[in-house]
Amino acid sequence: MPILVIGIDIISEETKRFAVVSWFNGRLIKNGEFTFYRLVRFIRAKQPDIVATDNIYELGEYLRKFIRALPQGTKIVQVTGRPGEQKSLWSLAKEHGIKVVDKFNPYEEAKVCALLAVKGIGHEVLAFEDEVVIKVSRGRSQGKGGWSQDRYRRRVHNLIQNKVREIEETLKRANIPFDLEIKEKDQGLERGEFRVYASREELAGLIKPMKGGDIEVRIRPVEKKTFEFVPLKSESAIRERKSIIVGLDPGITVGIAALDLNGEVLTSYSERNMAVSDIVRFISEIGHPIIIATDVNPAPGLVEKISRSFKAMLFVPRESLKVEEKNELLRNLGISVEDDHQRDALAAAYKAYLRLKPKLDHIEAKLKELGITQKGEEIKALVIQGYNLGEAILKVKEREKPREEVKHVEEKEVYVDLTPYMEKIKELETTVELLERENQELRVMIEKQRKIIENLKNKLATYDEKIREKILRSKEFEIKEKRIIHLEKELREAKAIIEKLSSDLVLAKRMHLLELRGSAVPIKVIENLTWKEIEELERSTGIKKDDVLYVVNPAGAGKSLAEHLVEKRIKALISAKTLPNLVYEVLKENRIPILYESEIEVKRVDDFAIVDRKELEKAIKDKIKVWEKEEKEREIQEFLRLVEEYRIERIKELKKKSEEGH
C-alpha cells in the first residue's frame, strides 16, 4: 500500500520553525517552512503513516504536546536510532545510498529523514502504554432548581449507567480486558471509569468519545513515564536480540515461559496482577519473540494483543490442551514448575516448538551442508516469519556485507602510501582556486542578465494594449463558459428535486384527502425515541390525549420515557423496530397498544404519516384481546398453582394427624 511519510527538521530554535518534506508513492515534495502549531495542523490534516526526525528531543518543551497531537495511527520515528546508540544522519544516508546535496540545508535533512524512514531505518518512539482510560460522566452542569431539576439529575445518572453498561458489553464482546470503577447515585451512576488494557488503535471504531450532550465520554491514553524506542522493522530486532518462542497464560495470575529455537528453556515465571506493559517489558528483556503461544483454543484476547504488539506469529493448538497432555510435555522437558500458570505457559511454548521442530531441523541440516551455521538462529527466525530459506540466507549475507567491507578497508589503510593523496590535495586546491575565479566571472554575467531581464520587464509592461484586451476577453469567455456548465448542472439537480417534491406532494394530497374523508388517522412521526425529540415534538405540535405516535428507531428509550408517554395518555404507538423490553412492559401494563409495521400499513411523507382508521381500530382491538388472553392464561396458571400448593399442604396435614392418632 502507498504510505505517506513526513520528514521534519528544525530551522529556528527561538521561535520554533520547521523544514517539512513529504514522501508519497515514490515522490518527494518540499512542503515549506512551518511554525509549531501550523505543523501540527498540517500533520492532523494529512494523517501521515510516519513523522520522521533525526532527534525528537530538538522539540524541547513542545515534545509531549506534539506527540499528544499526532493523529491515531501516525508513528513518530527517530531515524538515527535509540538514545545512546545513535548514528550520524549523514553516515546513515551514505550507508543506504541516499544522495545528499547540502548538509547545512534543513530541507535536505528533512528529506533524508523521510527517505530513511521509508526504508524502515530508525526506531519508533512509544509514548503511550497499551492502556487507555475511558471516563463516562455528566456532560453539562446541573445548575440550581427544584423538583424538575432533581428529575433531570436522576435522568442523567440513568443515562450514565446505560452508557457504562454499553461500553462494558462492547469490551467484553471484543474480548478486551479492563477494570471498572463506578460511583453510584440516585439508583444510577454519577461516574464510571474504565482502565482498558488495549491501545488506542484497538479501540478505534469500538468506542467513540462524546461531547456536548447530557453525558460525556472521554478517552485518554496512558502516557509512559519515559519514552521507549523500538526498531521500525522486526528484522532489526532479530539481528540485535535472541529469537525466542513465548508461552503465555493470561488471567489474574499471568504465567510466562520462553524457549530458544533449540528447545532450551530460558525462563518460567508467574506473577499476580501483571499489567500489559509489564508483560511486554518482561518478554523484551529475555529476547525477541517470533512466536507467542497459548494452550487454549480459541486464543484469549490478551495473547492476541501481545502477539500483535511484537508482530509475532500466534500459535493456537487445534484444540485446548488437557492437563494430562501438559504434564506429559513437561515430563519430556524434564522441568518442574512452581504453579499451574507456569505449567500452562511452558506447555504452550513447548507445543509450539514441537510443531516447528521438523522445519527447524531441516534448516539446520541445510545450513550444515552450506557451511553457514554461524548465523543459523537468525536464518531460522526469518524462515519462521515467512521468508523461504534462500531469501533468508541472502538477507543475512546482505546485512553482513557492509561490515566486511569496512574491515577490509581498515586493513588496507595500515599500508597506504600518503604521497599520492598529498598530490591529489594540491591538485584539488588548484581546482578550487580556478572555480573561485570562474564564480566571480559568472557573478558578473548574472548581473548583466539581471539588467537585461529588467529591461524586458519594462517593455512587457508597456506592451500593446489591444493584445492585452484580446487576452482578457478570451479569459472572460472561458469563465462564462465554465459558469454556464455549472448552472446547467445546478438546473439538472433542481429538476430532480422538483420531480421528487412533486411526487411527494401528490402522495401528501391523497393522504390529506383520506384524512378529510375520515377514512384515515394522522400520526405523529418521531425518528428516534429520545427525550430530546419528545421535547421538540411537544414544543412544535404537542402530544395530546389519543394521539398515535410512529417511531422509526426506539433503541434509545428507557422506562422513564415510557412513563411520560403513559402520562400523556396516547392512544397507540407504532414502531418500525422492536421496542426495548422496559418500554414495552410499561406501555403494556397501562394498556397502550404497541403495533409494528408488520401488523399495520403506514403511509408516510417526511414528517407526515397516516394509517387506515378501520385497520388501526381493528389492530388495537386485536392487540388488547391478545394481552387480555395472555393475562387470563397467567391468572388461570396462578390459580392452578395456588390450588396445587393448597392440595399438597392439606395432604401433609392429614398425614400428620393420622400419625398423631396412632
For 306-317, the pLDDT digits (tens) are 888 777 889 999
- Judged by average pLDDT, the poorest of 93-102, 249-258, 402-411 is 402-411
Phi, psi of 653 (to 5 degrees): -65, -45
pLDDT at 239: 42
- Nearest-angstrom CA–CA distance, 614 and 17: 75
Residue with more model confidence, 459 or 488: 488
Residue 205 has pLDDT above 90, yes or no: no
- What pLDDT shows up at residue 432? 72
Rounded CA gap, 312 and 293, in Å?
A: 10
- Asked if residues 215 and 163 have their Cβ atoms less than 8 Å apart, the reply is yes
pLDDT higher for 587 or 392?
A: 587
> Residues for the chain: how many in total?
662
pLDDT at 116 over 90: yes
Read off the pLDDT of each residue in 5-26 and give the average, rounded to a whole number: 88
Cell numbers describing residue 233: 522493522
Q: What pLDDT is stored for residue 524 in this prediction?
A: 86
H/E stretch holding 534 reads helix 531-540
Question: Which grid cell is 570?
Answer: 396516547
> Residue 386 pLDDT more than 70?
yes
Q: What average pLDDT is seen over the chain?
A: 82
pLDDT bucket at 408, cuts 50 / 70 / 90: very low
pLDDT given at position 505: 65
Q: 114 pLDDT band (50/70/90 cuts)? A: very high
pLDDT score, position 225: 80
Q: Beta strands of 504-571 (E only): which ranges?
A: 520-528, 548-553
Q: What is the band of 148 on the pLDDT scale with cuts at 50, 70, 90?
A: low
| Residues 191-199, mean pLDDT to the nearest whole number | 86
**CATH code for the part of the protein at 233-370:** 3.30.420.10
What is the reported pLDDT for 241? 63
Mean pLDDT of 278-292: 85
Q: With 70 as the cut, is the pLDDT of residue 634 above it?
A: yes
Predicted model pTM: 0.38
What phi, psi does 154 have (nearest 5°)? -65, -40
pLDDT at residue 412, as a whole number:
38
Residue percentage of the chain with pLDDT more than 90: 20
Identify the pLDDT of residue 50: 93
Q: Residue 414 above 90 pLDDT?
A: no
Distance (Å, rounded) from C-alpha 522 to C-alpha 571? 12
Task: Tell the CATH topology of 130-227.
Answer: Alpha-Beta Plaits (3.30.70)
In this prediction, residue 143 carries a pLDDT of 54
Q: Do 4-121 and 233-370 share a fold?
A: yes
The grid coordinates of residue 414 equal 595500515
- The answer on pLDDT for 299 being more than 60 is yes
User: Does the domain at residues 4-121 carry the CATH identifier 3.30.420?
Assistant: yes
CB 332 within 8 A of CB 351: no
- Provide φ and ψ at 628, rounded to 5°: -65, -40
Q: What's the confidence (pLDDT) of residue 513?
A: 57
Q: Which of 279, 99, 301 is nearest to 202 (CA)?
A: 301
Distance, CA of 134 to CA of 170 (rounded, Å): 13
pLDDT at position 79: 93
Query: 236: Cβ–Cβ under 8 A, 6 or more apart, which residues?
Result: 120
Contacts of 620 (CB under 8 A, 6+ apart): 571, 572, 593, 595
Question: So what's the pLDDT on residue 504?
Answer: 55
Angle value at C-alpha 50, between 44 and 55, nearest 5 degrees: 105
User: Binning pLDDT at 50, 70 and 90, where does residue 247 land?
Assistant: very high
Q: Say if domain 519-662 classifies as CATH 3.40.1390.
A: yes
Provide CB contacts within 8 A for 1, sequence distance 6+. Answer: none
Place of cell 400523556: 568
Q: What is the pLDDT of residue 413?
A: 37
Least confident of 61-75, 224-238, 554-568, 573-587: 224-238
Give the pLDDT confidence score for residue 406 in this predicted structure: 37
Q: What is the DSSP string of 486-503?
A: HHHHHHHHHHHHHHHHHH
Q: What is the pLDDT of residue 405?
A: 42
Position 104 pLDDT exceeds 80: yes
Rounded Cα–Cα distance for residues 413 and 432 (Å) = 27
What's the pLDDT score for residue 134?
A: 92
The pLDDT of residue 404 is: 42
- pLDDT for 280 beyond 60: yes
User: Which sequence spans correspond to the domains of the chain?
Assistant: 4-121, 130-227, 233-370, 417-455, 469-517, 519-662
